[in-house]
Chain A
Amino acid sequence: MNLNKLERLFVAAILALVGEVAWADYQLNIPVGPTETSRVIYDFHMYAIWVCVGIAVVVFGVMFYSIINHRKSRHPVPAKFHENMTLEVVWTVIPVLILIGLAVPSTKALIEIEDTSGAEMDIKITGYQWKWHYEYPQEGIAFFSSLDEASNRARQLDSGIDPRTVPNYLLNVDHPLVVPVNTKIRFLITGADVIHAWWVPAFGWKKDAIPGFVTTAWVEVEKPGVYRGQCAELCGRDHGYMPIVVKAVTKEEYRDWVAEQKQKLAGSQAAAQEWNLQVAMERGREAYNAHCASCHQADGSGVPGTFPALAGSPVATGDVDAMIEIVLEGKGAMPAFGRDENIRNEDLAAVITYVRNAFGNDIGDVVTPEDIADAR
């Protein structure tokens, strides 16, 4: 058959409706992931589909039989009946039985999925507009995870970059979450500003990240690999640009990774000891692009009417203490960054220094981590 791409898809879609068709290029169904939970969810999903297909065959079969055989041209004199108690009882009772057939395995699956007991380690996930923060409480490691640069450039309106040329467009981050395989990990999920939802399709479940509350979920990945997902709850302008990447590695690789992260942390603390304009600007640019650029834009121009411009703004070029206060305490839609213990003094000092000296602001002052510590 010579079909073009759209036609092939259409055929695949129709076939997939009535049965399982593995269409090489396109995923049509829930993925079977590397976890027991995802298999449970997939199996139950297929079971529910088949139950529905069974009912559909009966219901639409009867309907189309009537349409074909009881049309006026073939069946000119209509029957007169309009009651049948027995029949009505039957089609009340049978659906109830079918539903019980669904409810029993479903209840079992839900209890298993929600059981976070016996976890070997915890990871705390915090949703931000529009990035994720991951913290490993037992290891003392924490970092932000944002959309990667290549996707970020390509996704801008009229960027002129074809997303098809960007690897894992919108599904790639700068710092992926790294987890060891064959370890039951409990996630503690919360939100910093608005509600987000943490969803990696290969793991099956998703959970909301709600400010002020901690929801829990768990995962035990069986195969090393990279698993990708996205925020699933509308969380503002860049809701579509909040990917999740989980890198599952062997336990040994995980230990190495942890050691490396700790070393990096020590290095960055040492660098913070020598604080000058250059160090602050470099660190500030990185932090600005990761945390501020999604609202105030990479060039500090803001979004008129929604997010104020920083280039030449009275706040960014005026009294430094007033600016520190706004960054720490927030204002309007701007979060109170100073109240968030996930954000370090060094980064806040660097960002403020950067904004006061970038975008043509050129104030020339340097804010130090100590200034922030005092203000906090």
Chain B
Amino acid sequence: MATVADTHTAEHEHGPAKGIMRWITTTNHKDIGTLYLTFAMAMFLVGGAMALIIRAELYQPGLQLVDPHFFNQMTTLHALIMVFGAVMPAFAGFANWMIPPMIGAPDMALPRMNNWSFWVLPFAAAMLSATLFMDGGAVASGWTLYPPLVLQFGNALPFTIFSVHLLGLSSIMAAINIIVTIFNLRAPGMTMMKMPMFCWAWLITAFLLILVMPVLAGAVTMLLTDKFFDTSFFDAAGGGDPVLFQHLFWFFGHPEVYIIILPAFGIISQVVPTFSRKPLFGKNSMVFATAVIGFLSFIVWAHHQFTVGMPVPAELYFMYATMLIAVPTGVKVFNWLATMWKGSLTFETPMLHALGFIVLFVFGGFTGIMMSQAPVDLYYHDNYFIVAHFHYTLVGGGVFGIFAGLFYWLPKWTGTMYDEKLGKLHFWLSFLGFNLLFMPQHFLGLAGMPRRIPDYAVQFTEFNQMSTVGAFIFGFTQLLLIYIVYKCVKGEGEKVGDEVWEGAKSHGLEWNLPSPMPYHHSFEGIDIHKAVADE
């Protein structure tokens, strides 16, 4: 491969096209990565604004701002937009930007499909958001879309389902592209076990996506036929079963939470070694643990349904299987700690976010272990303890993972160092705001506050007020993030060399490239054999 570079001539070296058509027609993995990340950021703000409406209404008991029906629409859309519009596309953005340079490839394997898999998203998201303005409003059934409730909503239902189809379609195309890229385009010498942890995490995630998205598509299509074509898949009166939908949904939904968290695990496994100045501890067991988590995520779905009246043996099985996930997850955490142990640690913004990730995710893991216990889950289920738990894992885990990755690679993408002072400020405000937002919700749940209620009994007031204050701190801090990124993209800041972080070259092939990376032919002129061997 190294010789290939020599046959290229300078006339092949051209920059991006100009104007809006560059972005619409682009097949360049870097452009598509940028599109994904920009889209994710926009959706993060929309979903966040919805969360702030929810928290503002919950600032005190009684209804002050919105109708309960609208409140339910907000909880539904907040979740759907955050999961499908913000977090998953953000990770797809990282995959597009980083997988090719990390494995020594010139681009993604299927660039034309890459363009499509992105451009489906804005239309799907627009359709989903448009349901808010339809007669009767958006679906207000929670993101789980449980029938029979979801079948009560009118025009919004088919549009929501079609947009879920499209969002799933986009994810599947992205997943196929990632799998093909990783299997076919690795540089010579880059064996699977030499491949960086981020690529491994995404590879396993991609398989999860391909396996579960069709199940979701099938389940929501069955909703559609129940509503419009007189089938009775989920209607007991017609011989169907409302709980069947829950089984189908969570067969998708449980792996989905790992689809959100595994790429973040991958990012943390890149960031922690870099700022510890040590290789990742137990690389092989990290790969194995990630694969085991991926597998286990498929066989535990009904722990979301301990209250539906399953037979006791089934409850016990799902309880034991769920508990097992703690073991490989624990291995990952211990490996990160061992990576830090006797390292030479510094605490730049990406590392702060990585440490924040570990603290918050482990905390969410503890409540996860508690919830896995069926007898106590009969209490925790559908109350605020659950809300706190999954936000600790999905925001404390997923979103802080995204923040870590963003600060880690932003200088590589732009050639400019972000403002470190503002970066640290963003971390601390996010971290404190987050904890003020979600920590009190544990107590609300234990004290007996159900989730998804627009109004509550007065003894829950103080904790809800703390939570709302935290939400506004966390939310508005993200405007600071946009400012930091904007400044960096504009080139306002110190120029960085190819390594960016001290000793980074031994932690990923991407650090051998100049910053910013060339638009085309990334590895031209670089001795890739030597670079792979040096890692």
Contact = CB atoms under 8 A, between A and B. Distances in A.
Q: Do A and B bind each other?
A: yes
A305 B376 contact: no
Nearest to A96: B327
Given A75-B342, A169-B457, A234-B452, A333 B152 contact: yes
Nearest to B240: A212
Contacts of A159: 62-63
Interface stretch (A138-146, A189-197, A249-257): A189-197
Q: Interface centre among B345, B369, B459, by most A CB within 10 Å?
A: B345
A29 B69 CA distance: 30
Interface residues of B, number: 102
A155 B382 contact: no
A82 B280 contact: yes
Contacts of B341: 62, 66, 70, 79
A305 B448 CA distance: 34
B199 to A, nearest CB: 18
Q: Interface centre among A56, A77, A95, A102, by most B CB within 10 Å?
A: A95
B23 interface: no
A73 B381 CA distance: 47
Interface in B354-387: 355, 358-359, 362-363, 366-367, 369-370, 373-376, 378-379, 381-383
Interface string A205-230: 11110111111100000000000011
Contact of A215 (B309, B343, B379): B309
A40 to B, nearest CB: 7
Contacts of A59: 333-334, 337, 362
Interface string B294-322: 00000000000001110010011001100
Interface in A142-195: 154-159, 161-164, 168-171, 193-195
B439 interface: yes
Interface in A57-98: 59-60, 62-63, 66-67, 70-72, 75-84, 87-88, 91-92, 95-96
A170 B282 contact: no
B149 interface: yes
Contact of B381 (A16, A76, A158, A206): A206
Interface bin, chain A: 35 or more
A110 B375 contact: yes
Interface string A273-284: 000000000000
A169 B450 contact: no
Contacts, number: 316
A168 to B, nearest CB: 7
Nearest to A294: B68
Interface string B3-37: 00000000000000000000000000000000000
A103 B323 contact: yes
Interface in B230-281: 235-237, 241-243, 276-281
A234 B307 CA distance: 14
B308 A171 contact: no
Report whether over half of chain B's contact residues are helix, strand or loop; otherwise say mixed: helix
Given A28-B446, A66-B343, A211 B236 contact: yes
Contact of B382 (A51, A76, A232, A333): A232
Nearest to B283: A82
Contact of B458 (A29, A31, A109, A164): A164
A241 B67 CA distance: 13
Given A195-B148, A237-B68, A79 B343 contact: yes
A246 interface: no
Interface stretch (B92-100, B136-144, B213-221): B136-144
A279 B300 CA distance: 57
Interface stretch (B410-418, B460-468, B525-533): B460-468
B188 interface: no
Given A26-B462, A56-B366, A110-B316, A239 B453 contact: yes
A107 interface: yes
B225 interface: no
A111 B312 CA distance: 7
A298 interface: no
Among all A-B residue pairs, the 8 with the closest Cβ atoms: A212-B236, A215-B309, A240-B453, A201-B448, A79-B342, A52-B366, A205-B378, A109-B375
24 contacts: A29-B446, A44-B375, A62-B337, A63-B359, A70-B276, A70-B341, A72-B346, A76-B344, A82-B278, A99-B323, A102-B323, A106-B374, A161-B62, A194-B148, A197-B382, A206-B382, A211-B242, A212-B242, A234-B75, A235-B149, A236-B140, A239-B72, A240-B456, A333-B152
Interface of A: 5-6, 9-10, 13, 16, 26-31, 40-41, 44-45, 48-49, 51-52, 55-56, 59-60, 62-63, 66-67, 70-72, 75-84, 87-88, 91-92, 95-96, 99, 102-103, 106-107, 109-111, 113-114, 154-159, 161-164, 168-171, 193-195, 197, 199, 201, 204-208, 210-216, 229-241, 303, 305-306, 332-333
Interface of B: 61-64, 66-69, 72, 75, 135-137, 140-142, 146, 148-149, 152, 154, 235-237, 241-243, 276-283, 285, 307-309, 312, 315-316, 319-320, 323-324, 326-327, 330-331, 333-335, 337-347, 355, 358-359, 362-363, 366-367, 369-370, 373-376, 378-379, 381-383, 439-440, 443, 446-448, 450-459, 462-463, 465-466
